[in-house]
Chain A
Amino acid sequence: AQTVTQSQPEMSVQEAETVTLSCTYDTSESDYYLFWYKQPPSRQMILVIRQEAYKQQNATENRFSVNFQKAAKSFSLKISDSQLGDAAMYFCAFDQGGSEKLVFGKGTKLTVNP
C-alpha cells in the first residue's frame, strides 16, 4: 500500500523568508502524481502544486516550487518570500496513475511570523 510521510508536524517562518516542507512516499509503481495541498483554517483545501512522476523537471508555481527526487521517493515543497496568507496546513498527497484516489500525509502546520 502507498504511504505518505510528513515528518514535520509544525514549521514556522518569518515573513519574506524561505521555508521547505518535507514529504516522503512509498510506492512500487512508476506512474504516479504528487501534490501539495493547502488547507487554511476553516477554509477548503486548494491545490498548490502538482508533479507528474515521469517529468524530471521540478514543478514551479510562482513562489512555490518542489524538489522531486524520484529515486529517494522525496517530494519537498519550497515556499519563497513567505507571506502571512501562506499560513495553513499543508498536505502532501500521492496518486498512483489511474487509481483516482489521493493518499495524504498527516500534514504540516505552517506559521508565518510578521
Chain B
Amino acid sequence: DTGVSQDPRHKITKRGQNVTFRCDPISEHNRLYWYRQTLGQGPEFLTYFQNEAQLEKSRLLSDRFSAERPKGSFSTLEIQRTEQGDSAMYLCASSSGHRVVYEQYFGPGTRLTVT
C-alpha cells in the first residue's frame, strides 16, 4: 500500500465553477477525514467518515460543500459555485480507528486556486 492518495494535486478554476476532489485512503482504514489548510495556517477539520457514514461536519463546511464516501472506500469532496475564499490546500487523511495506535495518515493534498 502506497498510502493516502489524492487527485488532482492542483486545480485552478474560475469563480462560480464546481470542482470535485478525490481521496483514496489506505486500504484497510475505515475512517477518512477532510481538512482545509490556508496559507500560513494549520489544517482545519472539515468532516469525517466511518466507513460510508458521515459522522461529523464542521460549521466551516457550508452548504456549497458536500462530501461522500459511497462504498466506504474512496471519498469525494465537491465544492459548488466556488469563491476566491475557497482557495486552499484540501487534505485528506485516514486511520484504522484503533485507539491504541491512533494515528491519522495524511495524503499530499489538492491545492485549489480560484481565480
CB neighbours (8 Å) of B104 from chain A are 47, 102
B56, B107, B108: the one contacting A101 at CB < 8 Å is B56
Q: What 0/1 readout, one digit per residue, does chain B (47-75) give for beta carbons within 8 Å of chain A?
A: 01000000110100000000000000000
Contact of B55 among A100, A103, A104, A106 (CB under 8 A): A100
Q: How large is the interface on A (under 10, 10 to 19, 20 to 34, 35 or more residues)?
A: 20 to 34
B85 within 8 A of A: no
Nearest Cβ distance between residue B109 and chain A, in whole angstroms?
A: 7
| Interface bits A44-60 vs B (CB < 8 Å: 1, else 0) | 11110010000000000
B42–A106 CB distance below 8 A: yes
Spell out B's residues near A (CB within 8 Å): 3-4, 31, 33, 35, 40-45, 48, 55-56, 58, 91, 99, 102-109
Interface residues of A (CB under 8 A from B): 4, 33, 37, 43-47, 50, 91, 93, 95, 97, 100-107
